[in-house]
Amino acid sequence: MKGSSTRVIHEAEGASRTADPLTTPIYQATTFLFESAEEVRAYMQGRSDKFLYSRYRNPTIQSTEAKVAALEGAEAALVLASGMAAVSTAVLALLSSGDEIVCSAAIYGNTLHLLQSVLPRFGIAARFATLEEFARPDGLAGPRTKVVWFESPINPTLRCVDIAAVADACRRRGVLSIVDSTFASPVNQTPLALGVDLVMHSATKYLNGHSDVTAGVLAGSSAIMRRIEPIRRLLGSVVDPVPAYALARGLKTLAVRVARQNESAFAVARWLEQDRRGKRVFYPGLPSHPDHAIAKKQMRGFGGMVCVDLDGGIERASRFFDRLQVVRRATSLGGVESLCSLPVDTSQWGYTDEQLERAGVTRGMARLSVGLEDVDDLIADLDQALNA
């Protein structure tokens, strides 16, 4: 009989031979067993589909990746530790010293900082292009450009970029096009079908949808994933099995959540626009939105994000923010809870007046992420908060 320390460590461990779980279990293991040296060698020589080490491949994470690929209509997908892990892993995999990346100037703030402050230290130049330049995509790429990176819809104005037009211009120049599709979710927009090479999401938002997981995803062809996956191993930017499991659970309800969020956000946007206490409402589904035609062309639904410009600057926006009772005061988006944030206090913090003007952002803006509460309660809450 072996000692109790030996027994407690090794007894009854590993996969069950009789349980056939309906859902994919959490393979919370950093490493996987081999029977023999020959089996390890077979793995190293690529003659085995066994799992070796979770930073490389893990069954739970692989199951989540298959679901992401299904939603995006992609050959392959990768799940990473955060949206920013997805951004940084993709750019480090696809760019080399001497290359240029052209990025929309209206982009998630930390993507901008990464491209502007970190990549140049490795000899990769970033050029930021306006939405007007993105509207004439033939002029975007220069001789050194390898990647064009953009977002649609864009935070917080929900401006949209014509994804098919940019993808087409890039393809003709032999440049990779990558879109951050976080605000749309794959329910409302599938950019690969519009011709882009790679789609990225902060899965922290709609994909997980319950404000309790930080993760990011990349989806595209098997060929592009073969370039990115080895870099994920080296950077160690893979997600852990527990958040991968939670994300997979969220993905199964994505379509019903987003359908309801589309409907409620549209109702909130229409109500705000007719109410007139806000100066201007930004929602891609409203005919008054500057990119309504683009949104109609490329989106199946207009999303759960609404932005309202409250005339009266940050003071009025702050009073509105402070009075909210059902809508919670927090940054982030895409969860079941409705959230409000003031762009100048979060995503556009520290911007000068000129930078704000270029981003189309005002000091009176409040951004709403519409959740799954009863829409009448949300509208009643906005109604009383607007009296501020």
- Residues within the interface to ligand PLP (CB under 6 A): 82-84, 108, 151, 155, 180, 182, 202, 204, 214, 216
Active site residue 55: yes
3-state secondary structure at position 82:
coil
What is d(CA 155, CA 46) in angstroms, rounded to the nearest whole number? 43
Closest CA to 125 of 142, 109, 110, 108: 142
Q: Of 200 and 375, which CB lies nearer to ligand PLP in the complex structure?
A: 200
Catalytic residue among 27, 108, 206, 283: 108
Paired tokens of 200: 């990225």
Active site residue 43: no
In the complex, least distance from residue 306 CB atom to ligand PLP, rounded to whole angstroms? 15
In the complex, least distance from residue 91 CB atom to ligand PLP, rounded to whole angstroms? 13
In the complex, least distance from residue 214 CB atom to ligand PLP, rounded to whole angstroms? 5
Catalytic residue among 43, 50, 55, 319: 55
User: 310-316: long-range contacts (C-beta < 8 A, 24 or more apart)?
Assistant: 310/277, 310/278, 310/279, 310/364, 310/365, 310/366, 310/386, 311/278, 311/279, 311/364, 312/364, 313/362, 313/363, 313/364, 314/342, 314/344, 314/345, 314/363, 314/364, 316/364, 316/388
Q: Of 108 and 302, which CB lies nearer to ligand PLP in the complex structure?
A: 108
In the complex, least distance from residue 340 CB atom to ligand PLP, rounded to whole angstroms? 15
What is d(CA 233, CA 361) in angstroms, rounded to the nearest whole number? 38
Q: Of 32 and 128, which CB lies nearer to ligand PLP in the complex structure?
A: 128
Active site residue 108: yes
In the complex, least distance from residue 280 CB atom to ligand PLP, rounded to whole angstroms? 22
Burial (Cβ within 10 Å: 0-12, 13-18, ≥19) of residue 235: middle
CB 207, CB 251: distance < 8 Å: yes
What is d(CA 313, CA 212) in angstroms, rounded to the nearest whole number? 32
Q: Of 215 and 375, which CB lies nearer to ligand PLP in the complex structure?
A: 215
Closest CA to 55 of 246, 232, 245: 232
Paired tokens of 291: 């990119």
In the complex, least distance from residue 200 CB atom to ligand PLP, rounded to whole angstroms? 7
Q: Of 216 and 335, which CB lies nearer to ligand PLP in the complex structure?
A: 216
Q: In what order do the strands lie in the sheet with 76-80?
A: 76-80, 216-220, 198-202, 176-180, 145-151, 100-104, 125-129
Q: Is the peptide bond before 153 cis (omega within 30 degrees of 0)?
A: yes
Catalytic residue among 67, 146, 159, 205: 205
Indicate the residue type of 202: S
Paired tokens of 171: 């393809």
Strands 216-220 and 76-80: antiparallel
Closest CA to 183 of 203, 167, 165, 211: 203
In the complex, least distance from residue 245 CB atom to ligand PLP, rounded to whole angstroms? 17
Q: Of 151 and 273, which CB lies nearer to ligand PLP in the complex structure?
A: 151
Active site residue 67: no
Catalytic residue among 67, 159, 162, 180: 180
- Taking CB atoms, the residue at the shortest distance from ligand PLP is 83
Q: Of 294 and 339, which CB lies nearer to ligand PLP in the complex structure?
A: 339
Residues belonging to the active site: 55, 108, 180, 205
